[in-house]
Amino acid sequence: TKHVTTSAPGKTILFGEHAVVYGKPAIAAAVDRRVYVKIEKREDNRTHVNVEELRVSGFLNLERGLIEFDNGEYEKKNILEYVLKSLIKTNTKDGLEVTINIDIPIGAGLGSSAAVTVATILSSSIYNNINLTRDEIAKQAHQVELEVQGAASPIDTTLSTHGGVIYLSKDAEEIITLDINTEIPIIIGYTSKRGNTGKLVETVKLKVEKYPQIMNPILNSMESITNHAREALVNGDQQKIGELMNINHGLLDSLGVNTEELSKMVYFARKTGALGSKITGAGGGGSIIAYCPGRVEEVISCINKFENAFKINISVEGVRLES
Ligand code: MEV
């Protein structure tokens, strides 16, 4: 029987989160943890999706755009919305079994929903003999995210599609792959407390509206940090990469997206020898990254005493056909 399996990587933002919402650039990296999406024919003409690691499954009605859940925790259920919209966008007709495996720590802010969306679009387009370029996949996936979430920057879908380390200019109009060593010594620390991205973006917006003369220069500084970081990353200037992360973290704190848990991880990472550490992503819970040349194991075991930490490697490859 006909079947297609594809995979797409998750991502982490190195510099520029939040500022990117105001048209500033950002730098993000695809990470070597992936989502796998297998599509195969079902004999009964119904469409069923199983997201194994989330324990969410259900039947989709592609013609009418409806989901009938078998099971799943309320807050994890919306993953099926991304799958539904991705299948509809790529003209899929009912009669499929879709099996999704998420080999990405859930809730660590690594963009697992974007990876599911991107991989589903590639699987489904191959299944239907539609040829999409990477740019088209990224664009369709971003539209799906907009439809499901209401608002979303193109960062997650761009990285899951293209892979590598990418400098995104305003609204991802221009994406530049940075040529840097994939063995970059970065770790992620994450708390079980999750941040609500939509709410955090709104909190920042209210602050920018209330104190434009204070906040706009901060957003401009974030832009300068990202531009300096681009150079430092390409040149492998370790000291500078670390310092820029620390400055960026302070500015993210000033936007009001820091928390006690994130602060604790950021400062313990530095105390254990990280050259730099900062919030990554929306904040309010979620994750930090720490840049730890020569100190990776020490920083991981320190953070693991009170939260969760793991090393990431950069995934050069974006979305790809597996079999
Ligand atoms: C969240 O991962 C990153 C933010 O900049 C929001 C966005 O870009 O959509 C906070």
Predicted confidence (pLDDT) at residue 1 exceeds the cutoff of 70: no
More confident residue, 183 or 131: 131
29 known member of a binding site:
no
In 3D, which of 120, 58, 114, 111 has the Cα closest to residue 88? 120
In 3D, which of 178, 136, 139 has the Cα closest to residue 27? 178
Pocket test for ligand 1, best of 197, 207, 208, 219 (most atoms within 8 A of CB): 197
Predicted confidence (pLDDT) at residue 178 exceeds the cutoff of 70: yes
For the segment(s) 3-180, the CATH number from 3.30.420.40, 1.10.10.60, 3.50.50.60, 3.30.230.10 is 3.30.230.10
Q: Among all chains, which residue has been given the structure tokens 């300096």? A: 228
109 known member of a binding site:
yes
Q: What is the pLDDT at residue 267? A: 98
Return the domain boundaries, the chain. 3-180, 186-312
Q: Note whether 41 and 1 are within 8 A (CB).
A: yes
Active-site annotation holds for 70: no
In 3D, which of 39, 38, 31 has the Cα closest to residue 14? 31
Backbone angles phi, psi at 192, to 5 degrees: -75, -20
pLDDT in tens, 272-300: 999 999 999 999 999 999 999 999 999 99
Predicted confidence (pLDDT) at residue 302 exceeds the cutoff of 70: yes
Q: What is the pLDDT at residue 194? A: 85
Average pLDDT on 68-72 reads: 93
Q: Note whether 104 and 96 are within 8 A (CB).
A: no
The Cα–Cα gap between 222 and 244 comes to 10
Predicted confidence (pLDDT) at residue 181 exceeds the cutoff of 90: no
CA of 10 to the centre of ligand 1 (A): 14
Q: What angle do CA 133, 81, 29 make, to 5 degrees?
A: 50
197 lines ligand 1 (CB under 6 A): yes
Residue closest by Cα to atom 9 of ligand 1? 153
CB atoms within 10 A of CB 214: 11
Q: Note whether 259 and 284 are within 8 A (CB).
A: yes
The Cα–Cα gap between 124 and 139 comes to 15
195 lines ligand 1 (CB under 6 A): no
CA of 21 to the centre of ligand 1 (A): 7
Residue 314: DSSP 8-state: B
Residues 6+ apart with CB under 8 A from 178: 27, 164, 165, 166, 167, 230, 233, 234
Q: Note whether 191 and 282 are within 8 A (CB).
A: no
CA of 308 to the centre of ligand 1 (A): 22
Q: Which of 32, 135, 156, 253 is catalytic?
A: 156
CA of 31 to the centre of ligand 1 (A): 17
* CATH code for residues 186-312: 3.30.70.890
Quote the crossing angle between the two packed helices 238-255 and 197-210, to the nearest 10°: 80
Residue ranges in 256-314 assigned as alpha helix (H): 260-271, 296-304
Predicted confidence (pLDDT) at residue 157 exceeds the cutoff of 70: yes
18 lines ligand 1 (CB under 6 A): yes
Predicted confidence (pLDDT) at residue 7 exceeds the cutoff of 70: yes
Average pLDDT, the chain: 95
Q: What is the pLDDT at residue 153? A: 87
The Cα–Cα gap between 144 and 280 comes to 23
Q: What is the pLDDT at residue 166? A: 97
CA of 213 to the centre of ligand 1 (A): 22
CA of 309 to the centre of ligand 1 (A): 21
Quote the crossing angle between the two packed helices 155-162 and 112-127, to the nearest 10°: 50
Query: Does the CA dihedral 89-91-94-99 come out positive or negative?
Result: negative
Helix (H/G/I), strand (E/B), else coil: 46: coil
In 3D, which of 100, 101, 237, 259 has the Cα closest to residue 189? 259
Q: How far is CA 73 from CA 67, 77, 196, in A?
A: 15, 6, 17
Pocket test for ligand 1, best of 31, 159, 201, 203 (most atoms within 8 A of CB): 201
Question: What ipTM goes with this model?
Answer: 0.95
Residue 74's pLDDT band (cuts 50, 70, 90): confident
284 lines ligand 1 (CB under 6 A): no
Q: Which atom of ligand 1 is nearest to the CA of 257?
A: 10
153 lines ligand 1 (CB under 6 A): yes
113 known member of a binding site:
yes
Predicted confidence (pLDDT) at residue 193 exceeds the cutoff of 70: yes
Pocket test for ligand 1, best of 22, 153, 188, 257 (most atoms within 8 A of CB): 153
The model's pTM is 0.95
Average pLDDT on 192-196 reads: 87
Predicted confidence (pLDDT) at residue 107 exceeds the cutoff of 80: no
Quote the crossing angle between the two packed helices 260-271 and 296-304, to the nearest 10°: 140
Residue 257's pLDDT band (cuts 50, 70, 90): very high
Q: Note whether 15 and 219 are within 8 A (CB).
A: no
Same fold: 3-180 with 186-312: no
pLDDT in tens, 207-252: 999 999 999 999 999 999 999 999 999 999 999 999 999 999 999 9
Predicted confidence (pLDDT) at residue 8 exceeds the cutoff of 70: yes
Q: What is the pLDDT at residue 5? A: 98
The Cα–Cα gap between 214 and 257 comes to 16
For the chain, the residue count is 323
